[in-house]
Amino acid sequence: MLDINKATTTQLDPEGNMFGLAPWSPLFAQRQAKAEGIFLTDEHWEIIIHLRERYRERGDARSAREILHELEENFSDGHGRRNLYELFPGGPVSQASRLGGLPLPPYSSDPSFGSVE
């Protein structure tokens, strides 16, 4: 189970993304999500933890498109990207990575990975 009560000090880049994995905590993710207008559900946590584990095992992805495709396969339940964008309106790759305290993958700042708004 996640210990969401553990607070840590974090360093952020100008876009609000954390540097590295070490200082991240679920409490950080909850605070950041609240600031971005998201209430984290079990679905959100599954994706965030998946991205963190993926990063831990494989390091940086070659592109945001690679991660988006992987998230679609594992978490969209046959509904395509729409469900992912409903969970993370700021972009499933960009916003989920930011909440997970991960560096953004290459090409994730592309406006086409933005939001459904």
The SS3 call for residue 6 is coil
Question: What is the per-residue pLDDT for 48?
Answer: 95
4-8, 91-95, 104-108, 112-116: which is most confident: 91-95
Q: Are 97 and 17 contacting, i.e. CB atoms less than 8 angstroms apart?
A: yes
Distance between CA atoms of 63 and 2, rounded to whole angstroms? 28
**pLDDT single digits (tens) 11-51:** 555 655 555 555 788 999 999 999 999 999 999 999 999 99
Main-chain dihedrals φ then ψ at residue 29, nearest 5 degrees: -60, -45
Which region holds residue 3: left if phi is over 0, alpha if psi is between -120 and 50, else beta? beta
pLDDT of residue 95 exceeding 80, the answer is: yes
When pLDDT is averaged across residues 53-78 and rounded to a whole number, the result is 86
Both structure tokens of 49: 């933890």
The SS3 call for residue 88 is coil
- Percent of the chain at pLDDT exceeding 70: 72
